[in-house]
Amino acid sequence: MAFFRAACAALLFSAFFCLIALQYWLPTVAPPVRTEHHGGGIEIPSIGLGTWLSDKDKVAHAVEFALKSGYNHIDAALIYRNEDETGKGIRAANVPRDKFWVTSKLWNADHRPSEATIAVQKSVQDLGVEYLDLYLIHWPVAFVPGEGTKIDESTTIVDTWRVMENIARSNLTRKIGISNFSKRDVETIMKICQICPYAHEFETHPYLQQQEFVDYHNEIGVKVIAYSPLGNTNPNYKDKNKLEPILEDPFWVKLAEKKNATVAQTILAWGRQRNTVIIPKSVHEKYIIENLGALDISLTEGEMRDIAKQDKKTRMNNPGRGWDIKLFADLDDPTRLSDNEGNEL
């Protein structure tokens, strides 16, 4: 009997010990797999050439000229419908593959796994590169494939992020990231990522500074790529705001004179100095060279403080209303959707 009691006690003790040990052991054997980004190679260069709205017959020359003039970063996307011509420019420049950076983006209609695989392969092939350096979810919005802008309710951003992680694992891109996400969307991805976003590309310029949002990315270690860095200069934005053209804004004209630079150079220098990657678009040799000059300008702390006061919190690029989706909900100047009575939803 005594032996039986001792055996039972030993058994209970071992079971208890095993339970305690398991509690400590489990998290160490099954942590979230926060894998490093794929590949060595260069970090994202601080200035790149944008290609949205670049004419098909001009973009190849612009890209070739930029790569031969000192740029080593091209920002592309499947939806710009000029990746094949962009690829011609890349090939003509004949720069070794590991010496330049190419970003492309997954379009909204391609979020499902089979569409995404075809889309990324098409971008890689059209751009004529073996792999991308960065592949972004273009918008946190999925469309039903083949049905225009009909929202695909069954595909979440988490589903799409899993697809992106598999694309990274397939080595078609060195790094993956996001674009046009709200803060809440970023937090969602940061909670679940196994391969975490390298960069977030979103609209930011002197008229939409979003400094807190930029700071947040610095804190979590996600690089910010500032799109439309020249504010409302993109002709597509002409009728979308009542602000004066930023290149003629007296504040910026005066500051540029003081810096002995052009207004565009001074604006871009500010973008770079606040630790955002700038990707100005141009198809003109003159502007392509001029914009590179931003790298030689540095602003004083006082000038940075004065610029901070010039924020107009005005967004230029917001297709949310057309898609009937409230984009940028927790950021400056979100999509405003209203019901039939005009009440904001």
Closest to 293 (Cα-Cα) out of 42, 69, 68, 101: 69
- Per CB under 6 A, 209 contacts ligand NAP: no
- Report DSSP state, residue 208: B
Task: Give the residue with the Cβ less far from ligand NAP, 273 or 317.
Answer: 317
Out of 80, 131, 207, 237, the active site residue is: 80
Among positions 89, 140, 280, 320, the unique one binding ligand NAP when judged by CB under 6 A: 280
Among positions 75, 126, 133, 332, the unique one binding ligand NAP when judged by CB under 6 A: 75
Least CB distance to ligand NAP at residue 79 (A): 9
Task: Give the residue with the Cβ less far from ligand NAP, 83 or 165.
Answer: 83
Instruction: Give the span between the Cα atoms of 76 and 225, in whole angstroms.
Output: 13
Among positions 89, 197, 206, 229, the unique one binding ligand NAP when judged by CB under 6 A: 229
Task: With residue 277 as reference, give the H or E element that holds it.
Answer: strand 276-278
- Per CB under 6 A, 101 contacts ligand NAP: no
In the sheet with 73-75, reading across from the earlier edge strand, the strands are 49-50, 73-75, 101-106, 132-137, 173-179, 199-203, 223-227, 276-278
Phi, psi of 88 (to 5 degrees): -65, -40
Task: Give the residue with the Cβ less far from ligand NAP, 112 or 206.
Answer: 206
Among positions 291, 292, 299, 312, the unique one binding ligand NAP when judged by CB under 6 A: 291
| Contact partners, residue 27, CB within 8 Å, separation at least 6 | none
- Per CB under 6 A, 246 contacts ligand NAP: no
- Per CB under 6 A, 323 contacts ligand NAP: no
- Per CB under 6 A, 63 contacts ligand NAP: no
Among positions 213, 227, 252, 328, the unique one binding ligand NAP when judged by CB under 6 A: 227
Active site residue 80: yes
Query: What is the CB neighbour count within 10 angstroms for residue 183?
Result: 16
Least CB distance to ligand NAP at residue 230 (A): 3
Closest to 324 (Cα-Cα) out of 335, 316, 309: 335
Q: Where are the alpha helices (DSSP H) in 246-300?
A: 250-259, 263-273, 285-292
CA angle 251, 253, 259 (to 5 degrees): 105
- Per CB under 6 A, 276 contacts ligand NAP: no
Among positions 223, 282, 307, 327, the unique one binding ligand NAP when judged by CB under 6 A: 282
| Contact partners, residue 220, CB within 8 Å, separation at least 6 | 186, 190
Residues of span 114-153 touching ligand NAP by CB under 6 A: 138
Part of the chain binding ligand NAP (CB under 6 A), chosen from 47-55, 119-127, 207-215, 318-326:
47-55
Phi, psi of 78 (to 5 degrees): -60, -40
Cα of 167 vs its chain's centroid, Å: 16
Place of tokens 């310029």: 205
- Per CB under 6 A, 40 contacts ligand NAP: no
Q: Which residues carry out catalysis?
A: 80
Sequence ranges of the binding site: 138
- What is the binding site for ligand NAP (CB under 6 A)? 50-52, 75, 138, 179-180, 201, 227-230, 233-235, 247, 264, 279-284, 287, 290-291, 317
